[in-house]
Structure formats: structure tokens, C-alpha cells
Amino acid sequence: MARFAINVLENSAGEILLLKRRGDKKLGGGLWGFPAGHIEAGETPEQCAWRELREEIGDDFHTELLQRYGPVHDTWYGGIYEVHLFHRRWLDGTVLMNDEHTDYAWVSREAYRNYEIMDGIDEDLYYLGIWPVEFLNKDKLPLATEDTEGHREKGSE
């Protein structure tokens, strides 16, 4: 089973950071998503989350961990992915994208539906409870709701 660490960065204005994946990427090519990646052998989800942040947006930033959620299994790809979510507050810094992405944007909940989003992103936002459900793409949310409080860990880094 493939395991992923996903970073959801939120700034003080309540906007989330989205990265546009290069069109030739197998998973989500040409679509918008979060800084994320595969958890490698011998790596913890936390180590992967930090590695992916540095690889995808550079290392000139500061964040604070607001919550952790997971592991959960995806609902969009048949449950073949184990997902660990990290919700972070962006404190300061500069986004320096790597060659996996072609653009980035800080996106408000009001503008969110104007972006072509990877499958699973709405579900990640739903699990973390960052925005009210009415701002998400309801056709991309899990069919059943669940109590998420048992999976959250709050803290800072």
C-alpha cells in the first residue's frame, strides 16, 4: 500500500496554498493540490511531510503545526492509499517551487471552486475541518461522515 504525507498550509487570511502539478505527472497532472508525497521506507509521516515541504516549496519558510489527522484510507482511488494529513499555519517565508509544479496560489474559500483540483483534496479539507462544507465541492466529499476528533493531534513545531 502506498503511504502519503500531505501538507495543508493555511495563512493568517484563511487561504490555503495550492500547487499546480506539471501536466505530465501521472497522479493529478495539470491539477492543483497540496505539497505532498510518498512516505519512503524507514521514514515517519512527519519526516516525509517536512521533506516534501522542503522539496516542493524550498526551505525559506516557518510554519506552526495546528493539527494532524490520520492515517486514513482514500475514498477516491479505492482505498489503496494511506494518507497522513498535516494542517500547518504559514507564519512567514517565500514559496520557491521545484520542477514538479508550474504555479502556486494562496486560495480563499470563496475562490476555491475556480481551481481544477486533484481528487481527494476536498476530502482532505473536510477531514481537517478548515472551511465550512459549503465552500467545498460536495460531489467530491466522502459519502459518510465520521467523527474526526479521535484522530487529531494539536501542537506546534
Residue 25 · residue 98 · CB < 8 Å: no
What residue ranges in 78-144 does DSSP mark as E strands? 81-93, 101-107
pLDDT on residue 144: 41
pLDDT on residue 143: 55
Cα 152 to Cα 69: distance, rounded to the nearest angstrom: 5
pLDDT on residue 114: 96
Where is 9: in which H helix or E strand? strand 2-10
Print pLDDT tens along the chain (157 aa).
899 999 999 999 999 999 999 888 777 779 999 999 999 999 999 999 999 999 999 999 999 999 999 999 988 777 888 999 999 999 999 999 999 999 999 999 999 999 999 988 999 999 999 999 999 998 888 754 444 443 333 333 3
Residues with Cβ within 8 Å of 151's Cβ and at least 6 positions away in sequence, in order, are: 69, 70, 72, 127
Residue 18 · residue 115 · CB < 8 Å: yes
Cα 157 to Cα 155: distance, rounded to the nearest angstrom: 7
The top-level CATH class assigned to 2-147 is alpha beta
Residue type, position 36, single letter = A
Global pTM value:
0.87
pLDDT on residue 32: 97
pLDDT on residue 75: 81
Q: So where are the chain's domains?
A: 2-147
